[in-house]
Amino acid sequence: MSISTSFPAEIATSSTLNHWPEWFRKDQQEAWEIFQSLRQPKRTDEPWRFANLKAIDLSDFHAAVPVQDAASLITRSSAHTSLAAKLIFANEVLIHNDQAGLPAGVLLLPLEEAAKNHEELFRKSFMTSEVRLGSKKFAALHRAHLRSGAFVYVPQGVVIEKPIEIWHWVEGENTTIFPHTLIVLGEGASATVIDHFVSSREERSLAIAVNDLTLGTNAKLHYVGVQDWSDKATAFHINTTEVEKQAVSTALQMNLGGAYIRGESDSHLLGEESRSVMLSINPASGTREIDQRTFQDHFAPRATSDLLYHNALADSSRTIFAGLIKVEEAAHETDAYQKVRNLMLSDEAEANSMPGLEILADNVRCTHGATSGELNEDELFYMMARGIPPKQAAQLIVRGFFGTVLERLENEDLQAHLGEILDRKLNLNV
Amino acid sequence: MSAPSSSSLSIRDLHASIGDKPILKGLTLDIPKGEVHAIMGKNGAGKSTLAKIMAGHPDYTVTSGDVLLDGESILGIEPDVRARLGLFLAFQYPMEIPGVTIANFIRAALQARLPEGEELEATDYYAKLYSKMDALSVPRNFTSRSVNEGFSGGEKKRCEILQMAMLEPSYAVLDETDSGLDIDALKIVSAGVNALRGPNIGMLVITHYQRLLDYIVPDKVHVMSEGRIIHSGDKDLALKLEAEGYDWVEKEYSAGKSAV
């Protein structure tokens, strides 16, 4: 019952698929063929340099079945206290849908419903960009097996003050799910969306998650992925962001769980003076591996991209960062920044950083860099001189290290909320 | 040499070095609770080193002598334990801690003083924090700023005194708290320190300039040179040092030594 053998049969027979329109099912069949035609990545493939290819052997995983106790997962899906809407998916089935706080005109729908009833909108923004950072094969598998997901459409000029929260639960040993969040903001629209990725039990599982963020002119989006899978989980988180003129996307990925996490984040600065802020908070412990590949692709003049990734590595954890800034010919006066900081908390941990730059335009300002360092002894002494025990002092420093990333969010309520999540989860060996 | 009081911070014939280099060479000093003592001395006399050694900085090795807090030796005890026993060091160069807010920092320090399982009461904590901040003219929005990050010299020193006010130590060592301060900041900081004076605290003020002692008037003034106290007197000694420099003290000390 592995992915390579049984999945296509399940596509054909699964009753949940009947909700998708015929044209999409054809798409899925094509995607399945693409998945099969593409070979597994090799270590000599540039996008998989340093990667642990054993971790992406998917042969033991199988399709999801509905969860046993949806009610308890609904109870456990509790984070932010003041929301505009909440959707909860468990093993890809929508089990909760509360959107009482949404302004008129906003569409918050299961993806299959959006495909059926808003086909044009859906087609325009659903996985339209090529997956360029290595996981094309796995994105094809995602497309082939997608059963549901969240579709968020905020029409022109509509501002949603409170966050929309979306939960993606996985349950069952070796279960596979394909979470998807598709966000489309019309001109001048504004929204905050928080995706929570969680395991109901401490089980081995596979998630291939995709999010597409599409921002119209002058739109403003805060997107946060709170990845908190079980410590045995394998997960792909594949992002594409498209930012039109003067729009501002701020996207943060927090990797709090998982055994093996592959993150790919591809930002397209399409419009003049558009801005994409790409953030990531990565506490790595045990034998966790976090492998992140990023692309800041500037197509238009006077746009800004600003990437800040903070990794704290304890025990024998491992991180990989490979990022490229590309300034296309037309993208004059680009501002592009890329900064990765590795805080090494253990001699056994390993951080690999590969920043990159390709500039085809004139008059641009680009900086990129990666640093690695240990806990600062003087900071530790200062805190101990205040009576704080060394372990707590070190944890405060690590918390502060991540706090400087949260400070980049231009939303204090969101900062405080995510800070609390970090406070609860952060328990590294320091 | 008098016996150390059980209610004092007492440094007995302390010798300490960094690497192979001796820095303290038999320093003896007794600061009873309720008193403010000042140490003055030239650059390189070992003043700041003394402060760090008392706080337990790992770079320094005590080779002989003792430091007693209310009669109990604190040598060999970790810096955080010393602090919880009631010793406070206001740093000459306070560290910046990115991403850690002042509120969370002081809260962690207070929490560490509570018995295990007991939680600091948030409302009381903030009420106290705000009242101390107001007294030190520290804007309330500083609570959410990262510790010392981007602070001016004056803000850093006020923040040190704020921490001292919140932690209520039995003994405080103020290391060059006046350095980098303009006169207005110096007045605010001094007023903050003076507000904390009283029978339950002993203070050691380390300074380079007599100016600070116009505002924090000490009970005793000690002159430090080459790792020792070479002369002690009342507050007027500071004025004399300001007017006449240190040479006469050093000469007197050398003469006294050769007479012995």
Q: Cα distance from B88 to chain A (closest Cα, Å)?
A: 7
Concatenated DSSP letters of A331-400: -TT-EEEEEEEEEE--TT-EEEEEEEEEE-SSS-EEEEEEEEEE--HHHHHHHHTTT--HHHHHHHHHHH
pLDDT on residue A47: 95
pLDDT at B87 over 50: yes
Domain span at B197: 8-92+149-259
Nearest-by-CA chain A residue for B147: A400
Residue in B95, B112, B146 nearest the CB of A389: B112
In a domain, residue B119? The reply is: no
Sign of the CA dihedral running A10, A13, A19, A20: positive
pLDDT at A162 over 70: yes
Helix (H, G, I), strand (E, B) or coil at A420: helix
pLDDT on residue B176: 93
Sign of the CA dihedral running B178, B182, B187, B192: negative
Q: Cα distance from A381 to chain B (closest Cα, Å)?
A: 7
Q: At a CB cut-off of 8 Å and minimum separation 6, what does B103 contact?
A: B126, B129, B143, B144
pLDDT on residue A211: 97
The terminus-to-terminus CA distance of chain B in angstroms comes to: 16
Would you call B99 and A390 a contact, using CB atoms and an 8 Å cutoff? no
In a domain, residue B117? The reply is: no
Would you call B79 and A381 a contact, using CB atoms and an 8 Å cutoff? yes
Would you call B109 and A388 a contact, using CB atoms and an 8 Å cutoff? yes
pLDDT on residue A80: 85
Quote the DSSP letter at residue A118. Answer: S
Host H or E run for residue A422:
helix A412-425
pLDDT on residue A17: 53
Tens-place pLDDT, residues B222-231: 999 999 999 9
pLDDT on residue A3: 60
Tens-place pLDDT, residues A67-125: 999 999 999 998 888 999 999 999 999 999 999 999 999 999 999 999 999 999 999 99
Least confident piece of the model among A6-10, A207-211, A244-248, B104-108: A6-10
Query: CB of B103 within 8 Å of any CB in chain A?
Result: no
Of chain A, the percentage scoring pLDDT greater than 90 comes to: 90
pLDDT at A2 over 60: no
Would you call A399 and B99 a contact, using CB atoms and an 8 Å cutoff? yes
* Structure tokens that stand for A118 in this block: 């808003």
Tens-place pLDDT, residues B11-51: 999 999 999 999 999 999 999 999 999 999 988 889 999 99
Q: Which of A265, A264, A220 is nearest to A241 (CA)?
A: A265
Would you call B112 and A392 a contact, using CB atoms and an 8 Å cutoff? yes
Would you call A396 and B104 a contact, using CB atoms and an 8 Å cutoff? yes
Q: Which of A263, A291, A430, A308 is nearest to A350 (CA)?
A: A291
pLDDT category at B180 given cuts 50, 70, 90 is: confident
Helix (H, G, I), strand (E, B) or coil at A100: coil
Among chain A, residues having any CB pair with chain B shorter than 8 Å are 376-379, 381-390, 392-393, 396-397, 399-404, 406-407
Contacts of A377 in chain B (CB under 8 A): 58
pLDDT at B80 over 50: yes
Q: Cα distance from B223 to chain A (closest Cα, Å)?
A: 26
Q: Which of A246, A247, A187 is nearest to A222 (CA)?
A: A247
Q: What is the mean pLDDT of chain A?
A: 94
In a domain, residue B33? The reply is: yes
Mean pLDDT of B215-221: 96
Q: Cα distance from B73 to chain A (closest Cα, Å)?
A: 17
Integer Cα distance of A141 and B153 in angstroms: 58
pLDDT on residue A61: 94
* Structure tokens that stand for B210 in this block: 């007599």
Mean pLDDT of A117-141: 96
pLDDT on residue A125: 95
User: Per-residue b/e over A23-41, b at no fewer than 16 CB within 10 Å?
Assistant: ebeebbeebbebbeeeeeb
pLDDT on residue A302: 98
3-state secondary structure labels for all residues of A396-412: HHHHHHHHHHHCCCCCH
* Structure tokens that stand for A328 in this block: 């296309």
Nearest-by-CA chain B residue for A396: B100
pLDDT at A40 over 90: yes
In a domain, residue B115? The reply is: no
pLDDT at B258 over 80: no
pLDDT on residue A220: 98
Residue identified by tokens 């302004």 is A103
Contacts of A401 in chain B (CB under 8 A): 98-99
pLDDT at A235 over 50: yes
pLDDT on residue B6: 79
Nearest-by-CA chain B residue for A403: B99
Looking at the DSSP bridge assignments, the partners of residue A356 are: A324
Residue in B78, B106, B146 nearest the CB of A400: B146
In a domain, residue B1? The reply is: no
pLDDT on residue A12: 46
Distance between alpha carbon B81 and the CA centroid of its chain, in Å? 17
Helix (H, G, I), strand (E, B) or coil at A39: coil
Would you call A387 and B83 a contact, using CB atoms and an 8 Å cutoff? yes
Residue B214, domain CATH:
3.40.50.300
Would you call B55 and A393 a contact, using CB atoms and an 8 Å cutoff? no
Q: Which of A369, A370, A368 is nearest to A344 (CA)?
A: A370
Of chain B, the percentage scoring pLDDT greater than 70 comes to: 97
Mean pLDDT of A43-51: 93
Mean pLDDT of A39-48: 94
Of chain B, the percentage scoring pLDDT greater than 90 comes to: 83
- How would you class A391 by CB atoms within 10 Å of its CB: exposed for 0-12, middle for 13-18, buried for 19 or more? exposed
Please tell me whether the interface predicted TM-score (ipTM) of this complex is above 0.90. yes
Residue identified by tokens 């097996």 is A145
The total number of structural domains in chain B stands at 1
In a domain, residue B131? The reply is: no
Q: Which of residues 196-235 of B touch A (CB under 8 A)?
A: none
Nearest-by-CA chain B residue for A423: B104
Contacts across the A-B interface (CB distance below 8 Å)? 87
Tens-place pLDDT, residues A286-323: 999 999 999 999 999 999 999 999 999 999 999 999 99
Concatenated DSSP letters of A75-93: HH----SS-SEEEEEETTE
**A217 and A247 in contact (C-beta within 8 Å)?**
yes
Query: CB of B56 within 8 Å of any CB in chain A?
Result: yes
Q: Cα distance from B229 to chain A (closest Cα, Å)?
A: 25
pLDDT on residue A101: 94
Would you call A385 and B56 a contact, using CB atoms and an 8 Å cutoff? yes
Q: Cα distance from B108 to chain A (closest Cα, Å)?
A: 7
Contacts of B89 in chain A (CB under 8 A): 385
pLDDT at B96 over 50: yes
3-state secondary structure labels for all residues of chain B: CCCCCCCEEEEEEEEEEECCEEEEEEEEEEEECCCEEEEECCCCCCHHHHHHHHHCCCCCEEEEEEEEECCEECCCCCHHHHHHHCEEEECCCCCCEEEEEHHHHHHHHHHCCCCCCCCCCHHHHHHHHHHHHHHCCCCHHHHHCEECCCCCHHHHHHHHHHHHHHHCCCEEEEECCCCCCCHHHHHHHHHHHHHHCCCCCEEEEEECCCHHHHHCCCCEEEEEECCEEEEEECCHHHHHHHHHCCHHHHHHHHHHHHHC
pLDDT on residue A427: 73
Mean pLDDT of B108-119: 94
Mutation to test the B interface, candidates A343, A377, A381, A392, most B Cβ within 10 Å: A381
Would you call A385 and B108 a contact, using CB atoms and an 8 Å cutoff? no
pLDDT at A13 over 50: no
Angle between helices A377-384 and B102-111 (to 10 degrees): 60
User: Per-residue b/e over B219-249, b at no fewer than 16 CB within 10 Å?
Assistant: bbbbbbbbbbbbbeeebebbeebeeeebeeb
pLDDT category at B75 given cuts 50, 70, 90 is: very high
Integer Cα distance of A101 and A82 in angstroms: 9
Mutation to test the A interface, candidates B53, B92, B97, most A Cβ within 10 Å: B97
